[in-house]
Amino acid sequence: MASVTFEHLTKTYPNGFISVNDVNLFIEDGEFVVFHGPSGCGKSTILRMVGGLEDITSGKIYLGDELLNDILPRDRRLAMAFQNYTLYKNFNVYENMALGLRLRDFPRTVIDSRVKSAATFLGIDTVLDGKLKSLTDTQRQRVALGRAIVCHPKVLLVDEDFARQNESRRREMLSDILRINESLKITVLYVTNNYEEAVSLKKHIVFMKDGRIIQEQKPV
Ligand code: ADP
Ligand code: MG
């Protein structure tokens, strides 16, 4: 089960600023949820708490029945696609995609089959031996997504910074992520401050303002 539940989720920064204020939300297994709201409303803070990059001040986050609060970030079954994803330019595509699995000591044969199937899924199987500098921006972005999905996460977190550089790249990224959600059944939490984009997706939308959910809309 990869539903995600927030119970009274709150983040207060050390300076006293309340960035996320008593957020309650249930995200079904396999859903694609869009978090939308003006800059500064707490979207990234929510993703960072789910991902374990930020401590939870109070409240709870569950992944299925499992309380995430006390689970170390590296042991959470989720993956993050943020703008500052670190690809290693001296590694080839294969090595970049395999990194997370290597760090977790997966057997070589498992790494090999997972990297190859993810590369095929993302259409970068022909460039596995290539160095990063020989790739297009779109291919590089797919390497970053590939690295995320080889770990078989239950949830994928995508912040808006990922591929904000230009409109066509953003659309390609979005269609990759929709495919990951639909074909691989990975629950997606997607952040955008673009209203048109948020509504055009026709997915579960969470509208936020000043750290709170002000409205929720679900597809009929
Ligand atoms: P969004 O992603 O919706 O633009 P963020 O989650 O990044 O918003 O930030 C929410 C609010 O929390 C902002 O007003 C931001 O200035 C504030 N904030 C973020 N990090 C810190 C911090 N370390 N200390 C104090 N306030 C912070
Ligand atoms: Mg943000």
**pLDDT of the chain along its 220 residues, tens only?**
699 999 999 999 999 999 999 999 999 999 999 999 999 999 999 999 999 999 999 999 999 999 999 899 888 999 887 655 678 888 999 999 999 899 889 999 999 999 999 999 999 999 999 998 899 988 998 999 999 999 999 999 998 876 666 788 888 889 999 999 999 999 999 999 899 999 999 999 999 999 999 999 998 8
Mutate to test the pocket of ligand 1, among 20, 45, 48 (most ligand atoms within 8 A of CB): 45
Going from the Cα of 103 to the center of ligand 1, the distance in angstroms, rounded, reads 31
Residue holding tokens 């009274």?
8
For 185, residues 6+ apart whose C-beta sits below 8 A from its C-beta are: 30
* Any ligand 1 atom below 6 A from CB of 44: yes
Which pLDDT score, from 0 to 100, does residue 165 have?
67
Compute CA 66 distance to the chain's CA centroid, rounded to the nearest angstrom. 19
Which pLDDT score, from 0 to 100, does residue 21 have?
98
- CATH dotted code for 1-77+154-164+177-220: 3.40.50.300
Going from the Cα of 73 to the center of ligand 1, the distance in angstroms, rounded, reads 20
Atom of ligand 1 nearest to the CA of 41: 3
Residue 87 β-bridge partners: none
pTM: 0.94
Which pLDDT score, from 0 to 100, does residue 82 have?
67
Could you give the CA distance from residue 89 to residue 133 in angstroms, rounded to a whole number? 7
* Any ligand 1 atom below 6 A from CB of 45: yes
Which pLDDT score, from 0 to 100, does residue 84 have?
53
Where are the chain's structural domains?
Answer: 1-77+154-164+177-220, 84-152
